[in-house]
């Protein structure tokens, strides 16, 4: 590379903002430009379906970096502008305000957007979606005590919104097409506990049935059941934001395809967070695309170092949490890799260990945060070390997980 034109980061969300800060933390002194389409300072999304819905006062965005912090780091933040094209040959990012920003290295941290329903009648006026702070403000305005809400989709976001809406005094029905809530990422036994918590709190859960159509004030199910309602919210998954990368000729494969360093097939372009699909070395190179807060942070950090020339592979263990009805659901690793499950009584919660040919590949639990968080953290460390712990030790609450960890050698 000749003179350093600087590093441009497209997407000022979790991964983009973290990467910008990490560049400075790793002593990069060249120009850093962080470009975001939303007219906000970088902010956290997890509160949008939780505190931003339930809090008594009008919420404010949970800012990741203040203007002062951006300035102190020497990060140029452009908000309310969209990058429309990448000129790879000219090393330029082209913006919708006509400006062109040169780069030596580029990071795509463009996130994901909600999948839209294609059900007849499901137009923008009748169905709400949640991804941004503006979406959260709009949604909150609907969730008044006594209103009848139908949530379509029993995934994390749908269920968190259901719990929050119930908290606000709404009457809530969740409709999930699959036979059970929470899909493949969450083991059936843990999903069943979450379903129980929703039912016990007063949410009506309908599973195993699709939609026929949406009419004014009514969701019609495939069996012609009519659910009269005042508001409809859909949480039916997210689609990685890959349009820009695709137009630039980068490979898209359930997200922007990157290698173990988070580098795309252009050596000067990297990707991080919800938008990218990467191979995971701890899971035999399985390609993953994660939609998880900590992954966005970890990948932001990693991409920053990779753009500065580090060659290490990204190998952080996936970890996800969700809060519903005052309890936490936490998952470490990849439970769906497992072929056997061992449970441990945590007293107030059950920890599920997922093993593949004797190796620990995942752990999951739903319960009070105090019971769950520390044990999941230890399980995560065992997964990172590719441990093959004795199932009897895992199942026995009198054997501390810390002592199991102590006898496992560090992974090569």
Ligand X SMILES: Cc1cc2nc3c(=O)[nH]c(=O)nc-3n(C[C@H](O)[C@H](O)[C@H](O)COP(=O)(O)OP(=O)(O)OC[C@H]3O[C@@H](n4cnc5c(N)ncnc54)[C@H](O)[C@@H]3O)c2cc1C
Do 351 and 365 form a contact (C-beta atoms < 8 A)? yes
Angle between helices 188-201 and 156-167 (to 10 degrees): 20
What span, in angstroms and rounded, lies between the C-alpha atoms of 80 and 269? 23
Question: Which one, 187 or 273, has the nearer CB to ligand X?
Answer: 273
Question: Which one, 131 or 359, has the nearer CB to ligand X?
Answer: 131
327 makes contact with ligand X (CB under 6 A) = no
Do 166 and 172 form a contact (C-beta atoms < 8 A)? yes
> Taking the complex as a whole, how short is the minimal distance between the CB of residue 160 and ligand X, in angstroms?
7
**Sheet containing 359-367: order of strands:** 319-324, 327-333, 359-367, 350-356, 340-345
> Taking the complex as a whole, how short is the minimal distance between the CB of residue 87 and ligand X, in angstroms?
14
13 makes contact with ligand X (CB under 6 A) = yes
Our measurement of the distance from residue 141's CA atom to the centroid of its chain's CA atoms, rounded to an integer in Å, reads 24
Q: Which of 278, 320, 353, 366 binds ligand X (CB under 6 A)?
A: 320
Residue number with the smallest Cβ distance to ligand X: 13
241 makes contact with ligand X (CB under 6 A) = yes
287 makes contact with ligand X (CB under 6 A) = no
Q: Which of 119, 173, 242, 322 binds ligand X (CB under 6 A)?
A: 322
Please spell the DSSP secondary structure of 73-102, one letter per residue: TTEEEEES--EEEEETTTTEEEETTS-EEE
Question: Which one, 83 or 401, has the nearer CB to ligand X?
Answer: 83
Give residue for tokens 């040169």: 102
> Taking the complex as a whole, how short is the minimal distance between the CB of residue 11 and ligand X, in angstroms?
3
Q: Choose one: 8-16, 164-172, 190-198, 393-401; the region binding ligand X (CB under 6 A).
A: 8-16
330 makes contact with ligand X (CB under 6 A) = no
321 makes contact with ligand X (CB under 6 A) = yes
Q: Which of 187, 273, 318, 338 binds ligand X (CB under 6 A)?
A: 273
What span, in angstroms and rounded, lies between the C-alpha atoms of 400 and 409? 17
82 makes contact with ligand X (CB under 6 A) = yes
Please tell me whether residue 226 adopts helix, strand or coil conformation: strand
Question: Which one, 11 or 389, has the nearer CB to ligand X?
Answer: 11
Q: Choose one: 25-33, 64-72, 268-276, 337-345; the region binding ligand X (CB under 6 A).
A: 268-276
Burial label, 137 (beta-carbon count in 10 A; 0-12, 13-18, 19+): middle
> Taking the complex as a whole, how short is the minimal distance between the CB of residue 302 and ligand X, in angstroms?
13
H or E segment and range at residue 24 = helix 14-25
Core vs surface per residue 222-234: b (16+ CB within 10 A) or e: eeeeebebebbbb
- Total residues contacting ligand X by CB under 6 A comes to 37
Footprint of ligand X (CB under 6 A): 10-16, 35-38, 45-46, 48-49, 82-83, 109-112, 130-131, 157, 241, 244, 273-275, 291-294, 296, 320-322
């Amino acid at each position: 590379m000749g003179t350093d034109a600087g590093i441009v980061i497209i997407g000022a969300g979790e991964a983009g903002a973290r990467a910008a800060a990490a560049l400075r933390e790793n002593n990069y002194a060249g120009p850093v430009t962080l470009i975001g389409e939303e007219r906000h300072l970088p902010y956290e999304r997890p509160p949008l379906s939780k505190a931003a819905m339930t809090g008594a006062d009008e919420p404010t965005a949970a800012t990741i970096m203040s203007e002062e912090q951006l300035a102190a780091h020497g990060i140029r933040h452009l908000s309310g502008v969209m990058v429309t094209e990448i000129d790879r040959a000219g090393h330029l990012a082209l913006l919708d305000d006509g400006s062109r920003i040169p780069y030596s290295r580029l990071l795509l941290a463009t996130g994901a957007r909600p999948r839209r329903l294609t059900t007849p009648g499901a137009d923008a006026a009748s169905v709400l979606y949640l991804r941004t702070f503006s979406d959260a403000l709009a949604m909150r305005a609907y969730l008044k005590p006594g209103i009848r809400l139908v949530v379509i989709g029993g995934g994390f976001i749908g269920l968190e919104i259901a719990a929050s809406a119930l908290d606000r005094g709404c009457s809530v029905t969740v409709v999930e097409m699959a036979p059970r809530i929470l899909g493949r990422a969450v083991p059936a036994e843990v999903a069943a506990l979450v379903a129980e918590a929703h039912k016990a709190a007063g949410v009506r859960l309908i599973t195993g049935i699709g939609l026929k159509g949406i009419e004014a004030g009514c969701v019609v199910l495939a069996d012609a059941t009519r659910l009269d309602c005042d508001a409809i919210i859909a949480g039916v998954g997210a689609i990685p934001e890959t349009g820009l990368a695709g137009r630039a000729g980068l490979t898209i494969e359930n997200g922007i395809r990157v290698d173990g360093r988070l580098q795309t097939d252009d050596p000067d372009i990297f990707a991080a967070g919800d938008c990218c699909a990467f191979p995971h070395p701890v899971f035999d190179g399985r390609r993953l695309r994660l939609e998880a807060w900590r992954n966005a942070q970890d990948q932001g950090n990693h991409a920053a170092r990779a753009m500065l020339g580090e060659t290490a592979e990204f190998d952080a263990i996936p970890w996800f949490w969700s809060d519903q009805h005052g309890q936490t659901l936490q998952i470490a690793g990849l439970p769906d890799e497992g072929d056997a499950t061992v449970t441990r009584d945590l007293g107030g919660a059950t920890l599920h260990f997922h093993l593949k040919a004797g190796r620990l590949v995942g752990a999951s639990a739903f319960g009070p945060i105090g019971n769950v968080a520390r044990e999941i953290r230890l399980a995560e460390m065992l997964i990172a070390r590719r441990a093959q712990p004795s199932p009897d030790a895992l199942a026995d609450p009198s054997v501390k997980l810390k002592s199991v960890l102590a006898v496992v050698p560090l992974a090569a």
